[in-house]
Amino acid sequence: MFAPANQSAFNLTLDGVASDLKVYSFKGTEALSQPYCFDLELVGEQPDLDLESLLHRPVYLGFDDQDRGVHGLVHRVAQGDSGRRLTRYQISLVPQLAYLKHSSHQRIFQHLTVPQIVAQVLVGQGIQSDCFEFRLSGAYPKREYCVQFGETDLAFIQRLCAELGIHYHFQHSAERHLLVFGDDQTVFAQAEQPTPYSPGSGMVADAPAIKRFTVQLEARTTAVNLRDYDLRKPRLALESAVSDEHVPRLEEQGYPGCFSDRAHGKYLAQRGLERHRSDYRIAHGSGDETALLSGRFLQLSGHPREDWNDLWLVTHVTHEGQQPQVLEEAVTESAGGDLRQGYRNEFRAAPWDVIFRPAMPTQLRPSIAGYQNAVVTGPEGSEVHCDEYGRVKVQMAWDRSGEHNDHSSCWLRVASGWAHDRYGAVLIPRVGMEVLVGFVNGDMDMPVVVGCLPNAATPVPLDLPADKTRSIFRSQSSPGGGGYNELRIEDRQGAEEIYLRAQRDWTQDVLHDHRVNAGRAIQMGAGQSVVIDAGASVTIQAGGHSISISAAGIFSSIPIKLAGAAVPLVTGLPQSLLAPLSRVQVNSFKRSAPFCEECERCRNGQCEIA
């Protein structure tokens, strides 16, 4: 297993750098669906290497002479102590994907699948399409709206993949590392050959072996139930559930489940259950097999428990190596550390037939507490833009990619003070209005407009603070503006007023009675004409007299005078159009009290109002 004492077992290749750097020691951890990181201690004869020129360079660390190792980029470099001839250097080796933890964005993705979103993020950060692959067997629907907000690009990718059960691992060569996304076991590399189980005896083995191998089982969730709501199908109970045969029944309930049909909900629930069961049975081991990398199968052999001599998927490995023979002289007073020579590892593995699903991030999707500013948008030249549900589109204040058009966001529901089946209140925010956007359950993928806000560019329709006692509702004619309808209430002491303005027509539709009472006067004016239309009769009363118009004719309680003179009698008409008023009627007019002409008690002089 080990190289001769005077030879180096580990080799280092720094792309584009001519140096005599040798690997003294290294330690690194890599796992499925996680970027790896290796810390290397190097020694070389040059005491003045240009450190900055090493940063970000491709580097390959070989574990042996059989092309087993890891490839990455120099993420960190440091220079240590110098001896008489050798100088120590430290570097950290990571995949290009790890750089995405230093980049964060606030942006919106629309009508894209999760693999398409992930690919767009990777390419945007300089990871070319030939450096990653999607080997997926499942079908992934497009997401209408997906927001990255307050997340690093790495956290965003890992969250999206974990939500759908997509895992990733790396495949290494001396020239590059390939990022591979998958959703089943077929994407993982098969074992080159069986690795024997050989418990540590203190002796150096002739061939790589597994020194320690233990298996543990731990209670896990056994059922998943997801529920959701779709405004387009509000009466449909969106619920999907899956469970396995394990007992006791330990159920996880999730809402919202992020699905709009039960089939997709079942799919998500199944993947959620597989995620919980991924580490129900886990093996822990250690050895010196350099072929052990996460995302590869281990073929165990020679274990006394026969059912363990099977394929195991390696999910996590910690690699460690040291070759003190490169220290031809002491660099410092003490080399320090454990000088044991060679390579060793510790690993975790799962049964080959247990589908691996990445764990959900410890910090779930960012929750937006509170509200955010946005501006209503629409197609070029439009003033009002909505769909059949009264939803609008907006440009979020933080969105650098939006173009202030009808593609700036998904459709946002607009909160109303009252809404039900064909009745309620409807106020559609118009293009250019500033609105306040809230988020259902704090979920950034579920925005809703909760109100409108004035600003310096779109001020209120009042002269404030001079008009501070006024309340107003004013609309605007569309398209083109130039007119408005208005309801204004003035509450200033001594000038109280309710003002109603119609830009064009004002129509009132009263299905029963309409009463108007004024304490002093009622005035009506028209630019052209006033038409009063009654189906049966019209009566005008004033000063104890009345005029009535009905199908029978026009009747007046007294003779009608024009310019102070009685109207000449028309031939054929009675001299008096109406009978003389009774005493009760006259007294009632004087008191402005009601009377009844047909009441028998009135005729007998016994009516209570007489």
pLDDT of 97-132, one tens digit each? 999 999 999 999 999 999 999 999 999 999 999 999
Mean pLDDT of the residues in the chain: 89
Q: Which residues contact 93 (CB under 8 A, 6 or more apart)?
A: 28, 37, 38, 39, 40, 59, 61, 70, 72, 73, 74, 75
Residue 7 resides in a domain: no
Tokens linked to 420: 């039900």
Residue 324 resides in a domain: no
Q: What tens digit of pLDDT does each residue of 414-440 get?
A: 999 999 999 999 999 999 999 999 999
Instruction: Let me know whether 443 and 392 are in one domain.
Output: yes
pLDDT for residue 83: 84
The residue count of the chain comes to 610
CA distance 202 to 112: 56
Beta bridge partners of residue 107, listed in sequence order: 148
Instruction: Let me know whether 414 and 468 are in one domain.
Output: no
Residue 378 resides in a domain: yes
- Between 170-174, 396-400, 470-474, 597-601, the lowest mean confidence (pLDDT) is in 597-601
- 3-state SS class at 459: coil
| Residue (of 493, 491, 463, 461) closest to 474 by Cα position | 461
Residue 568 — very low, low, confident or very high, per pLDDT cuts 50/70/90? Answer: low
Amino acid at 29: T
Of 397, 432, 457, which one is at a domain's C-terminal end? 457
Instruction: Let me know whether 378 and 424 are in one domain.
Output: yes
Question: CA 218 from chain center: how many Å?
Answer: 34
Instruction: Let me know whether 414 and 488 are in one domain.
Output: no
Q: What tens digit of pLDDT does each residue of 474-531 get?
A: 999 999 988 999 999 999 999 999 999 999 999 999 999 999 999 999 999 999 999 9
Q: Are strands 34-44 and 58-62 parallel, antiparallel or unpaired?
A: unpaired
Percent of the chain scoring above 70 in pLDDT: 88
More confident residue, 36 or 365: 36
Please say if the pLDDT value at position 70 is more than 80: yes
Residue 423 resides in a domain: yes
| Residue (of 24, 27, 30) closest to 10 by Cα position | 24
Tokens linked to 336: 């320090």
Residue 409 — very low, low, confident or very high, per pLDDT cuts 50/70/90? Answer: very high
More confident residue, 210 or 330: 210
Residue 333 — very low, low, confident or very high, per pLDDT cuts 50/70/90? Answer: very low
Instruction: Let me know whether 430 and 467 are in one domain.
Output: no
Asked if residue 479 has a cis previous peptide bond (ω within 30° of 0), the answer is yes
Please say if the pLDDT value at position 338 is more than 60: no
Q: Which residues contact 177 (CB under 8 A, 6 or more apart)?
A: 70, 71, 72, 95, 96, 131, 170, 171
pLDDT for residue 365: 76
Percent of the chain scoring above 90 in pLDDT: 74
Quote the number of domains for the chain: 3
Residue 569 — very low, low, confident or very high, per pLDDT cuts 50/70/90? Answer: low
Ramachandran area for residue 432 (φ above 0: left; ψ -120 to 50: alpha; else beta):
left
Instruction: Let me know whether 453 and 378 are in one domain.
Output: yes
Crossing angle of helices 153-164 and 262-277, rounded to 10°? 100
Residue 567 — very low, low, confident or very high, per pLDDT cuts 50/70/90? Answer: low
- The CATH number given to whatever domain includes residue 389 is 2.40.50.230
Residue given tokens 């919106």 in the structure block: 108
Asked if residue 358 has a cis previous peptide bond (ω within 30° of 0), the answer is no
| Residue (of 460, 488, 485, 452) closest to 472 by Cα position | 488
Instruction: Let me know whether 412 and 486 are in one domain.
Output: no
- Between 82-96, 153-167, 552-566, the lowest mean confidence (pLDDT) is in 552-566
Q: What tens digit of pLDDT does each residue of 282-328 get?
A: 999 999 999 999 999 999 999 999 999 999 999 999 999 999 988 86
Using an 8 Å Cβ cutoff, are 432 and 458 in contact?
yes
DSSP state of 469: T
Residue 552 — very low, low, confident or very high, per pLDDT cuts 50/70/90? Answer: confident
Instruction: Let me know whether 428 and 479 are in one domain.
Output: no
Cite the beta strand spans of 45-189 per DSSP E: 58-62, 69-82, 87-94, 104-109, 132-135, 146-152, 167-172, 177-182
CA distance 286 to 423: 70
For CA atoms 416, 421, 424, 426, the dihedral sign is positive
Of 430, 457, 484, which one is at a domain's C-terminal end? 457
CA distance 71 to 143: 34
More confident residue, 339 or 152: 152
- 3-state SS class at 583: helix
Residue 344, phi then psi, degrees to nearest 5 = -155, 160
Tokens linked to 419: 């809404």
Of 457, 477, 493, which one is at a domain's C-terminal end? 457
CA distances from 340 to 3, 6, 27, 204 (A): 13, 14, 14, 11
Average pLDDT score over residue span 66-90: 93
pLDDT for residue 586: 55
Please say if the pLDDT value at position 375 is more than 70: yes
Residue 250 resides in a domain: no
CA distances from 285 to 19, 27, 277 (A): 37, 17, 20
Instruction: Let me know whether 409 and 384 are in one domain.
Output: yes
Instruction: Let me know whether 379 and 404 are in one domain.
Output: yes
Please say if the pLDDT value at position 203 is more than 60: no
CA distance 296 to 307: 20
Spell out the alpha helix ranges (H) of 7-152. Answer: 51-54, 114-124
pLDDT for residue 561: 77
Q: What tens digit of pLDDT does each residue of 4-27 get?
A: 555 568 999 998 887 789 999 999
pLDDT for residue 245: 86
pLDDT for residue 246: 83
Q: Which residues contact 256 (CB under 8 A, 6 or more apart)?
A: 227, 228, 229, 441, 443, 446
Using an 8 Å Cβ cutoff, are 224 and 200 in contact?
no
CA atoms within 13 A on the CB side of 306: 0
CA distances from 124 to 100, 111, 121 (A): 10, 18, 5
Spell out the alpha helix ranges (H) of 181-332. Answer: 262-277
Residue 104 resides in a domain: no
Instruction: Let me know whether 390 and 424 are in one domain.
Output: yes
Instruction: Let me know whether 381 and 449 are in one domain.
Output: yes
CA distance 600 to 610: 12
Residue 602 resides in a domain: yes
More confident residue, 187 or 552: 187
pLDDT for residue 536: 92
Residue 376 resides in a domain: yes
pLDDT for residue 331: 46
CA distance 451 to 459: 15
- Between 21-35, 41-55, 305-319, the lowest mean confidence (pLDDT) is in 41-55
Using an 8 Å Cβ cutoff, are 357 and 167 in contact?
yes
Q: Taking the chain, what is the end-to-end CA distance rounded to the nearest angstrom?
A: 127
Which residue range is the domain that position 607 belongs to? 581-610
pLDDT for residue 299: 96
Residue 593 — very low, low, confident or very high, per pLDDT cuts 50/70/90? Answer: low
Beta bridge partners of residue 297, listed in sequence order: 313
